[in-house]
Amino acid sequence: MNFLPLWRYQNQLIDGAIVTLELTVIAALAGLLIGVAGAVALNGRITPLRWLVRGYIELFRNTPSLIQIFIVFFVLPTFGLKLPAFEAAAVALSLYFGAYSVEIIRAGLDSVPKNQIEAGQCLGLSGWQVFRHILLPPALRNAYPAVTSQFVLLLLGTSLASQVAADELFHVAGFIESRTYRSFEVYAVICAVYFAMAMSFKALFAIIGLAAFRWPRRR
């Protein structure tokens, strides 16, 4: 066992880790927006839109995300949409994360008692004001644990982007391994980096959760 040959690749490793983080954060933010919008649409009155969102969720939750990335990268160019590897992976992972977020956030919205909405309406608030100020904060709190664990799965899932040669951590690992022939050492280091990132995010989310959701739980 010899980790020394990896030392000279530390800059590549750091760059790879940064790309992995970028991919994760972009897909998470875009996916969350999809999640909130999709949850609203699912609870809404426009039936065709509900079907569309439902179809989207089932499609992306019941197919391999590797294939979703391949389709965006290899198939969409046939229809005139040509994206570089990173962008293609970001789009595919956003849609993948979004599909899970819709269901999670909808469950969060459903967990808020209906009389809260009524109370808001009776104070003369608009539909948007009721949603934004009365429904959304408790819904996000209830959805938060599921969203954060899904986020960690997304972080690990970004390694799939290596298959379209996006320069993220796992792709960098393959490159270093091919140069050094030190498979065990390379993948041990990569695993440790993923592990450290995942644990750091968990700690970060715990702190954010404590800061953002300060009101006492219902007894």
**Closest residue by Cα to residue 160 from 62, 60, 83, 90:** 90
**Closest residue by Cα to residue 96 from 19, 24, 11:** 24
The span of 17-25, 115-123, 152-160, 182-190 binding another protein (CB under 8 A) equals 115-123
Dist CA 189 CA 13 (whole Å): 9
Q: Determine, following the binding rule CB under 8 A, whether residue 121 of this chain makes contact with another protein.
A: yes
What character string, x for contact with another protein (CB under 8 A) and - otherwise, covers 1-30?
A: ------------------------------
CA angle 123, 41, 88 (to 5 degrees): 135
Dist CA 219 CA 216 (whole Å): 9
The span of 7-15, 26-34, 122-130, 159-167 binding another protein (CB under 8 A) equals 122-130
Q: Determine, following the binding rule CB under 8 A, whether residue 217 of this chain makes contact with another protein.
A: yes
Residues 135-164 that bind another protein (CB under 8 A): 137-138, 141
Q: Determine, following the binding rule CB under 8 A, whether residue 45 of this chain makes contact with another protein.
A: no
Using the structure block, give the residue that is written with the tokens 């992306």: 60
Contact call for residues 35 and 101 (beta carbons, < 8 A): yes
What's the closest the beta carbon of residue 197 comes to another protein, in angstroms? 31
The smaller minimum CB distance to another protein, of residues 6 and 139, is found at: 139
What's the closest the beta carbon of residue 36 comes to another protein, in angstroms? 17
Q: Which amino acid is at 182?
A: R
Dist CA 50 CA 95 (whole Å): 17
* Residue numbers at the binding site for another protein (CB under 8 A): 115-116, 118-126, 129, 133-134, 137-138, 141, 213, 215-219
